[in-house]
Structure formats: structure tokens, C-alpha cells
Amino acid sequence: MTDSRFDVRFDAGQADSRWQAAWDEARCFEADSASAKPKSFVLEMFPYPSGRIHIGHVRNYTMGDVLARYKAMRGFEVLHPMGWDAFGMPAENAAMENGVHPAGWTHANIAAMKKQLKQLGFALDWSREFATCDPTYYGHEQALFLDLYAGGLVYRRESAVNWDPVDQTVLANEQVVDGRGWRSGALVEKRKLNQWFLKITQFAQDLLDGLDTLQGWPEKVRVMQENWIGKSTGLQFAFDLSNGEQLEVYTTRPDTVFGASFVAVAADHPLAAGVAVGNAEAQAFIALCKQGGTTAAELETAEKLGFDTGVTAHHPFTGAALPVYIANFVLMDYGTGAIMAVPGHDQRDFDFATKYGLPIMRVIAASADVADAPLTEAEAGDGVCVHSSFLDGMAVADAKAEVIRRVEAEGRGQGKTVWRLRDWGVSRQRYWGTPIPFIHCDACGVVPVPKDQLPVVLPEDVDISIPGSPLARHPTWKHVACPQCGAAALRETDTLDTFVNSSWYFLRFASQPTDKPFDTAEVAQWLPVEQYIGGIEHAILHLLYARFWTRALAHVGAVDVKEPFASLFTQGMVTHETYYRQTYDDGSDHPRVRYYSPDEVERSANGATLKNDSKQVEVGKVIKMSKSKKNVVAPEDIIADFGADAVRWFMLSDSPPERDLPWSEAGIEGCGRFVQRLWRLFGQFDAGATGEDKALDRKTHQAIAAVASDIEALSFNKAVARLYELASAIDKAAPSASRNEAIRSILLLVSPMMPHLAEEAWHALGQPGLIANAAWPAVDPALLVEDEVTVAVQVQGKLRDTLTVAKGLPKDQLEALALASEKVQRSIDGAQIKKVIVVPDRLVNIVV
RNA sequence: GCGGGCGUGGUGGAACUGGUAGACGCGCGGCACUCAAAAUGCCGUUCCGAGAGGAGUGUCGGUUCGAUUCCGACCGCCCGCACCA
């Protein structure tokens, strides 16, 4: 008899909240650091509390959740925490616009988003939740900052910084994209300010080397970080100039030194400034260089321009007089801001030399016999030195070493490694961030706040309505006594970059004592994070900073870990069609594009109409959901319509997780149908049924094994397909003990993905406890092997027949069977058989 | 320009280390159930062809008994980086 309780439709609305409450009650997902089980730390990038969860979060957290629940079923003690990256500009912007306090705004947003996350039934350890704006969090961050200061990794200096005029604050190099602020989009200006820096460059080599150990990271992300760190090795040396001065240049191609035909300096190089004194033409040229754009497109099209200073440089080996130019393509902040230009082997130099009629010499050739081949473009490749005096015949690598050796021997320069990576400026002139725990005293200088006076808490009564630093203009907050001499002194009013907050939050998740940031031994229990999941947009910023902080903390003895994230997965975006019309409704001649949201539109197989007027709208490209294109769906709406499990299932279906997932109404409806279908399937559990169904047993066990390996590989789309197949097989099978076992198994297999439905059915079927605490079903290896296989029979590589035979049938028998096939005989058609290839259990190919 | 990735039905995508291309989902078509609809179930669905059969994984070529998979050239799309000396 099947179970009549399953005749009614599965009521997600009611079941979701019941089981969410049951999990909370049973504290199912609280991680126990003292557990004897093997540990697994599954982490998704914690969200900024913007106010609501968007569909991208849902996809991200669903993936992590499936993995976390699966790991728990496999006997791991799982740490799967959640918190809030709660400091930052949007809270201050909201304060400016709406007059709400950043703290109140942030906490209200957190409450709203937490409710949404709870509705999705994620197996999160909420007991470890924190927000980075909690003084209990940022106070510990201040303590760590002081530790790094004591360890020599924090310093303060005046420097030219990237100033974001909209956010009214400084940005790190990494936070400037195409000359604009990464968040505000404003054109960044250069300013001189006293800034706090973290010595990330001290770990440049180590951060680079560490990338090789991160085999669980996407190649793409490792390449991006490698490029960002930007190691180059070369030679720095001085030219003697005709004006009696010296000019330091840096080159990665010392082997091409005999091909140098001019020298160039940046427009803001001191030599350029010197030349410009009393020289209007030079001044005009320098001004021209400085107004040049910095975007990729502008740079690409920018013409190479130069200004001949009239100064010449003496070639260190030939003694030739090389003209010194000011050139717009030389950057002051890389190397020494001056280069030796080798037109034959650097395209920029080639372009420049062509324009100004300077010599272009070949000094590297593929082989010595093409030493005089003409150059039509710069040849940057490998080869041997030619026309290069004592270097002639040497390979590029050897010649580099030889030139460096000679220059060093002459005391004229030295081999040098140059990095693109710069120290990380962490000062922000904002309110809503971690106060930097230092005090400026006229007598004692910059004094750390004693640890027993931490946290340095943000004042609540601030005026955020006007630009500028709210802490700096606060009437009382900054006035304190110097901890050393007791005299009146001033607090540091800069706050830390919010990327500092996210550089160690995973450590605080692993361990959160009240008297210190974390316990080193407890952290060692959980770290490294076994699987980290988040967006590709953090490939450099967050992930590089977090790797650096982990090293810096190891440097001062706070942690034993080096790489915080063993495996990284970057998931694709959720996309959706766009719907639009071209309108002229503003009365102008130019059409404007007006977008419509999916719920204003009726979509059919061959087009779309607007619900309002039943007239057609254009169906546009499938792109990332964004408010401006109105192609968004609200998680709360679809959860209400279909239930959390259908939404979760959709997030896992079809598209491989690293690729974009196109949202569709038809797709989510299909998921909703499958939830109901499974529900009915569970109702087919027939306690009275007996008997064996070997074929179904085999399918069940194959599915158990396949779904497990698919989840471990994060190939959720494949696991989903497997589960559809198993469901169909169960549907078709007759009642039996095997079928009951199959139903019990599929229930367990879908439980990480559809936990509410699974829990409801588990309960209805009278299974003990919560399925959230159940174990993954065991696989019988004997059932994974088929005893019959289908073998393809080809003639000339074309499929002619298939044979179903016992597994392991010997080659000669297989061959005989294949040749006996009527279809095969027909296509051989009496031709002579030259060769027969037999792959046991797979195919027979007959060559005639 | 440099680096990386991708190209498979109407559609999202499967295909283990070269071995039956198109699993599974969506859509579409047909049928059953129903007074009817919804829901559900069953069957079909790469293309051409009535059929036997033929063609087919961006294009062209190569290696192989056999290529979505390996190699070369080209075309197209996406992403990242960039006057980094």
C-alpha cells in the first residue's frame, strides 16, 4: 500500500518554516571545535549588507550549502558560518541621503537579509554570526593591527595617493580601475597625504610562490594574481649625461644594450623638470603628457610622443652619445622612470624611433646567419646576440647575466628585481570603518593605543551630512591624553580600508574567544578553508589581501597557516533576458530604450508582450541581472511562489556552476514540478513490498556513487541530471524491497539540495531523527559494475550494429559475434577484411 | 598588443585517460485522463530522406582502424591585463 499522506501536494510554505525551526531547535549546524570527527570548513564570501539578498547570493550560498550538508553526511564536523561585511561607504551614503545613522541602517539591513537567508534553509552556524562593524570584531582587528605594527609590517609615510573625490577618501592601487574608483566610478586624483601602509611587498615573493601550491584554485585567478604581483628581473644602471649628471635606468633586456639608440624619461621625472626650467616648449610638452587619458582605449590609441632635451647620454660600452627624450610612454612610477630604448626589440621604442628618425639596430637574431635581416617590427623574442661586441653569439639569457656582471664589476649598477605590487595604503578618511588605533602626541610622536584601552570605539554622534572626514571634525572624540606622557594629544581619525575587515574574518569564524581575536590552536583545527566560494570580481582585491594577512599574522606568530583557502571556486552570474521598447516619449527625435521587468511581461515561445497593453515588446540579450535593465527577479518572490527547495534546485540545475545561469520562468516552473514529482515518488514507499530488483539496485548504487563524486567536484548540474534519471527509474519499477531502498536512497541524495522536502518526507516515512543528521547511503561496489554491456560494432569506423553481451566477453568471441551480425555482413558486402579492432566491453571495428 | 577560456539540436548543457555524439532539463508536437481546463501520465523530438540510408560537434586541413576529444591554420565570441621598460 502506498502512503495516502503523499496524495496532497507538498506544501513548501508550511514545511519550509517548520523544518527551519526544527534545525534551529536541534542546533544541527553548530560546529564543535572539540569534535573528534575530521573537520571541514566550507565558506562562501560573506555579503555586504546592502538591504536584500539578490539572486547571485542565492546561487553562491546554495552551492556552499549543498557541499556543507553533503560533508556532514559523510561524517565531517562541518564549519559553515555566515556574517556581514558591514563597514563601508554605502552606509554613509545612505546617511547622507536619508538622514539615518550608518549603524541603524546597517543593522536593519542585516536583519532583513538574515531573514531571507533563513528562508532558504541554509545549514549555517548562526551561533558564530558577527558583523565587522561590531566593536567586538573591529576591536580585535585593532589589536591585530598593533601586532603587525610591532612586527614591523605597518608604517606611516607621506605619499601621493589615489583620491576619490566622490567618496572623499583614498583608494589603494587595486581599487582604481581604469583611473576610476572601483566603487564610486569617479575619476581618481593624485594627492599627497600622510598614510598608513601595510607592507604587502615584503611578502611579494612568497605570495607569488604560494600560487603554485594553490592547485585547488582556478588557473585564471592565479594568473591574475601573478600579473598583479608583476615580478620582473633586470638591470638598473646609470648613464653619464652630457650635462655632468647621471641618469638611472631600469631594463629587463640588458642583453640588448648594444641596440640602444636613445634614452627616455617620464614627463614627471626630475630630469624633465630640470630641462623645463625656462623652457616654454618643454613645459608645454610635459603639460600635454600629463593630461593624457589613462583608460585602456586611450592608451591603446595614444601616439608615441617625445621631446628632445638636447642632453645626451654616454653609452656605457660603445661610448656613443644617445639623445635623451622626454617621452609620453614612460611611466614615473615604474622602475626608475627612465629607460634605455632599444627600437629593434621593443615595439614602443620601435614606434618612437620610426616617428623621430632614430636608428633601429638588430642586436638579437634567431641565429647568427640572419644577423642582418631587416626589421619591420620589433622582435622581442629569444635568439642570439649579434652586432653586440663581446656578447656576439651568446644566448639571450647568458648575455643578460654577462651584461649585469660587467656593469656590477664597474660599479655602474646592479641586477635588480622590480615588482608591480605596491604596499597597501589602508588609511581612509571616512567614518564607517575601523578606527586606526594610534594617537598623535606632539612630544612622543605616533603612539599606539595600549591594548587594554581597546577597542577604540566609533563615536555615535557624528555629522555625516557634509563631505570630509566625520571623525576629524568631531568636536571631542579625537582629544585624548597621550598614553606615554599624559599630555593632550590627538587620536588618529583615519579608519581602515574595509578590505582589512574581510582579510581575517574567516579566522574569527573558526575561533571567537572574547579576550583575543582568535585562538591559534582552534584556528589550526579548521584552517585552511577546504572550499571557498565566491565571485570572480574578488580575484585580486580580497583574495590577495586575505592571503597577505594570513602571512602577516603568521609572521607575528598569531597563526600557523600560510594559505587560508585551499580550494577556491568562482561561480558564474545569474542572467536573464531583457525586455524593452524603443520609445520617443520624451518628445525628442532620438529613441530611448525603455526596459520592462519580467513580471510586467508575458513570455511565449516566439516573443513577448506587455501585460498592460498586450502589445509586443522586444526580447533583448541575456545578461547579468541588474536594476537598470530591470531583468531582475526577487528571491523573496520566487521563494513565496515555488518554495525554497525549487529555488535551490534551479540554482544547481543545467548550467555548470562556473558558467552563467540563465534564469527563466519555465525553468523554475519545471523545478517546482520536480519537487512535487519527488514528493509523489516518496509516497510510493510500500512497507509491505518484498522481493529484489537487481537492475534497480544497480541504478541506485551507481547514482549514489555518481552524485557523491559530482558534488565533490562541485558539478551540481551533473548530480541533478543523475537524480532525474534515478527518479525515472524508480517511477518505472514495480514495488519491491529494492524499490523501497531506492526511494530511501534518493531521499538522502536530494537532501542536501532540497532539505525541506527531504525532511518532510523523512518524517512522514517514519524514519528516525532529522535527515539533516543522517548519513550518506553506503555504496555496494559489487553493484557498480554492470554484468551486461552494449558493444558498438563499426565497419570503417561507422556504427552498423550494437550487441548486448556479458561483460568481459573475450576478444575472439566478441569478434565472432560482430561478424555474425546481419547488418555488419550487409555493409561489408563481401569486401575483404583487412583488420579487426576489438576493444573489450566497448566496440568492434572492422576495417575492409 | 599580451595572457586565458569558449564554440555541440529550437534552448541550457552531457559525453571517463581518443571508442555508440546529443545523457538530463527546458521548449515543442502527439496521445491518454477530463464535460472542459488545470494537474498528471505515456510517446516522439539533431538535420535530410517515405524508406533503406546519408550528413553532422564554428571553418579548412592533418594524425588515427576510429576525433566533440590530439595537432596545425583560420573565423567568431567572452574574460582578464596592459605604453610595466
* Complex ipTM: 0.94
Ordered strands of the A39-44 beta sheet: A77-79, A39-44, A531-534, A568-570
pLDDT at A296 (0 to 100): 37
Residue closest to sugar C1' of B67 by CA:
A797
Q: Distance (Å) from CA A666 to C1' B9?
A: 19
pLDDT at A585 (0 to 100): 63
pLDDT at A347 (0 to 100): 85
Q: Distance (Å) from CA A321 to C1' B16?
A: 66
Q: Distance (Å) from CA A309 to C1' B85?
A: 20
Nearest to A459 by CA among A445, A472, A442: A472
Phi, psi of A343 (to 5 degrees): -60, -30
Give nearest nucleotide to A328 (CA–C1').
Answer: B83
- H/E stretch holding A254 reads none
Helix axes A635-642, A644-652, angle to 10 degrees: 110
Q: Distance (Å) from CA A709 to C1' B65?
A: 34
Q: Which residues of A415-431 are buried (b: 16+ CB within 10 A; e: fewer)?
A: bbeebebbbbbbbbbbb
d(CA A493, CA A453): 16
Residue closest to sugar C1' of B65 by CA:
A847
State how far the alpha carbon of A510 is from the alpha carbons of A37, A309, A532, A766, A773, in Å. Answer: 16, 61, 14, 36, 22
Give nearest nucleotide to A227 (CA–C1').
Answer: B81
Cross-strand partners of A421: none
pLDDT at A536 (0 to 100): 86
Cross-strand partners of A193: A159
pLDDT at A598 (0 to 100): 82
Question: Which are the contacts of A532, defined by CB distance < 8 A and separation ≥ 6?
Answer: A43, A44, A45, A565, A567, A568, A569
Q: Which residues of A697-733 are buried (b: 16+ CB within 10 A; e: fewer)?
A: bbbbbbbbbbbbebbeebbbbbbbbbbeebbebbeeb
d(CA A76, CA A265): 60
* A83 touches A46 (CB < 8 A): yes
Question: Which are the contacts of A405, defined by CB distance < 8 A and separation ≥ 6?
Answer: none
DSSP state letters, A680-731: HHHTT--TT-----HHHHHHHHHHHHHHHHHHHTT-HHHHHHHHHHHHHHHH
A131: its cell numbers: 558583523
Look up residue A379 and give its amino acid: E
d(CA A178, CA A777): 52
What is the number of other CB atoms lying within 10 angstroms of the CB of residue A585?
Answer: 9
Residue closest to sugar C1' of B84 by CA:
A334
Give nearest nucleotide to A305 (CA–C1').
Answer: B83
A596: alpha, beta or left, given left = phi > 0 and alpha = psi -120 to 50? beta
d(CA A236, CA A249): 6
Kind of pairing between the strands at A413-419 and A424-425? unpaired
Alpha helices in A292-376 (DSSP H): 296-301, 347-356
A588: DSSP letter = S
- H/E stretch holding A146 reads helix A135-150
Q: Which residue has the cell 560482430?
A: A818
Q: Distance (Å) from CA A732 to C1' B31?
A: 19
For chain A, count helices (H), then strands (E). Answer: 25, 35
d(CA A848, CA A833): 4
Q: Distance (Å) from CA A68 to C1' B80?
A: 31
What is the number of other CB atoms lying within 10 angstroms of the CB of residue A810?
Answer: 10
| Terminal-to-terminal C-alpha distance of chain A | 59
Going along A68-168, which residue ranges are E strands?
77-79, 154-164
Strand B, nucleotides < 7 Å from a protein CB: these are 1, 3-5, 12-16, 19-21, 23-28, 39-42, 53-55, 65-67, 79-85
Residue closest to sugar C1' of B39 by CA:
A673
Peptide bond preceding A528 in cis form (omega within 30 of 0): yes
State how far the alpha carbon of A221 is from the alpha carbons of A44, A137, A215, A573, A713, in Å. Answer: 17, 29, 11, 17, 18
A673: its cell numbers: 514540478
pLDDT at A298 (0 to 100): 47
Q: Distance (Å) from CA A419 to C1' B85?
A: 13
Nearest to A200 by CA among A230, A170, A178: A230
Phi, psi of A683 (to 5 degrees): -70, -10
d(CA A38, CA A31): 12
Question: Which are the contacts of A796, defined by CB distance < 8 A and separation ≥ 6?
Answer: A846, A847, A848
DSSP state letters, A785-810: S-SEEEEEEEETTEEEEEEEEETT--
Look up residue A788 and give its amino acid: E
Q: Distance (Å) from CA A32 to C1' B29?
A: 56
Question: Which are the contacts of A537, defined by CB distance < 8 A and separation ≥ 6?
Answer: none
Q: Distance (Å) from CA A748 to C1' B40?
A: 25
Q: Distance (Å) from CA A72 to C1' B3?
A: 40
pLDDT at A219 (0 to 100): 85
Sign of the torsion formed by the C-alpha atoms of A339, A344, A350 and A355: positive
Nearest to A160 by CA among A533, A431, A517, A422: A422
Residue closest to sugar C1' of B2 by CA:
A227
pLDDT at A300 (0 to 100): 45
Give nearest nucleotide to A724 (CA–C1').
Answer: B24
pLDDT at A318 (0 to 100): 92
A174: DSSP letter = G
Burial of A154 (0-12, 13-18, 19+ CB in 10 A): buried
Task: Profile chain A (848 residues) by mean pLDDT over runs of 10 residues.
Answer: 72 94 96 96 95 92 96 97 94 87 96 96 97 97 97 91 81 74 77 90 93 88 89 92 93 93 92 90 85 47 81 92 92 88 90 90 85 82 88 90 93 90 90 96 95 94 85 93 94 95 97 96 96 90 94 96 93 86 69 80 76 80 81 90 95 91 90 94 89 92 94 94 94 92 96 96 94 95 83 85 83 85 79 84 85
A468: its cell numbers: 570630509
Give nearest nucleotide to A330 (CA–C1').
Answer: B83
d(CA A553, CA A545): 12
* A729 touches A699 (CB < 8 A): yes
pLDDT at A528 (0 to 100): 95
